[in-house]
A = this chain, B = another copy of it.
Amino acid sequence: MTKQVLILPGDGIGPEITAEAVKVLEALKASDNLDIEMTEDLVGGAAYDVHGVPLADETMDKAQASDAVLLGAVGGYKWESLDISVRPEKGLLRLRKEMNLFANLRPAVLFPQLASASTLKPEVVAGLDILIVRELTGGIYFGQPRGIRTLENGERQGYNTYVYSESEVKRIAHVAFQAAMKRNKKLTSVDKANVLEVTEMWREVVDEIAPQYPEVEVKHMYVDNAAMQLVLNPKQFDVMVTGNMFGDILSDEASMLTGSIGMLASASLDENNKGMYEPSHGSAPDIAGQNIANPLATILSAAMMLRYSLGREDLAVKIENAISKVLDQGLRTGDIYSDGMTKVSCSEMGDAVVAAL
């Protein structure tokens, strides 16, 4: 049965990088019986400019009806002064929430070919391979009440609510434990249980579930310490699990440690492995439209999509091998360029991956 894939290029470099991933998927349709139908639609600032909202209802419906969504990136200077309720980011948040994509998997992996791109010393990051499991549909991102009110004395007050219920913590913890079982069986749960009650409960729930995975070694770490340990000794980590906001911060920190954030993919999954796939980086409005962005994170996100949502592990591996090959050939976009390598454009990189399939 033909699987439906919704492509949402979004803003900034989004259209350029998704175009290259689409190129790769088209090639696989032709060569490898990949039975998918791709439709494209608007999200983020691009949707706001047309519809006045960062995600139109009919786009939301299409996403719900799809087997998977491949998204570029959203946001940019152009929309920064908009009210928070219609910002490009809200389109992304709506997709995550309404599709129930609670499990965000963000690998932070050092590509051996790019070892010198990291700002960290080679011995500190060589072989780095962390999986961050971030809860994506709860926490302070979605907590109510929220807003900006005027106090009696006339001053404004902004407020948000950081909230998790037991069942939300349980399901993300299970995802993380299961991921750890397939990896090195080490799980670090990150919280601020010494100050925030919501994370005190988080820690308790993780401890309650732990006996179901006796082989997994569980550690709890305060978020401030985790931010430090990632710099001091990132290789101590295997799988990390945390809430929406800490996950936002720590996954970006971790991906930057690898020096190749332009290479890092992410998957956001619901309970049935329906998912949305995006590069870990943002929309980079400063370089948009110049055909110099790195499309590999998006192409690798397409690989994750093939693996988790489309049942084509074989093609996921095929893409990953092709990317390894183009890196071995010395092809580099500007963000990962170093002396002696061959600098290529965004579309040249996409072409090279297709050729290497």
Contact = CB atoms under 8 A, between A and B. Distances in A.
Given A124-B119, A261-B228, A159 B197 contact: yes
Interface string A156-187: 11111111111100000000000000000000
Contacts of A256: 227-228, 231-232
B231 A201 contact: no
Contact of A162 (B89, B120, B161, B202): B161
Contacts of A162: 140, 159-162
A231 B245 contact: no
The secondary structure that dominates the A interface is helix
Interface residues of A, number: 65
A154 to B, nearest CB: 9
A344 interface: no
A193 interface: yes
Contact of A121 (B119, B166, B196, B227): B119
B253 A141 contact: no
A253 B232 contact: no
Contacts of A282: 225
B201 A157 contact: yes
Q: Which 9 A-B pairs have the closest CB atoms?
A: A158-B201, A158-B198, A155-B166, A227-B253, A228-B256, A224-B252, A157-B165, A159-B163, A231-B256
